[in-house]
Amino acid sequence: MFLLRLIVFLILVSVILILGFPLFLIYDLSNGGNIFGICEDLSTCVIPISEGPKLLVFLIGSFFLLVLLLRLIMLLVNKYQKVDTIL
């Protein structure tokens, strides 16, 4: 039971990190950073136009996969405890 709770905690932390990743990029840019080493000089940096949508699809897909995994684990926990809930 403790292991399942630990897995749920790690999934929730991962979801928060996935949702906060774009904010970290914007924060780095606003402080004069180079997007965590992607571009050395932002004025001459060439990033393909497909990189943004690929990152968006990856983050959204990861988010929904983690939510699905969290849902399955919570159903397993409820079956293990034999408690009827709204899940």
| pLDDT of amino acid 37 | 67
Element (H, E) at 10: helix 2-30
| pLDDT of amino acid 83 | 59
Q: Could you read off the pLDDT tens digit of each residue along the chain, which spans 87 residues?
A: 788 889 989 999 999 999 998 888 888 878 877 776 677 776 777 778 888 888 889 999 999 999 999 999 988 888 887 756 665
Dihedral (CA of 78, 2, 16, 38) sign? negative
Q: DSSP 3-state assignment of 31? A: coil
Phi-psi region of 32 (alpha: psi -120 to 50; beta: other; left: phi over 0): left
| pLDDT of amino acid 87 | 58
| pLDDT of amino acid 38 | 72
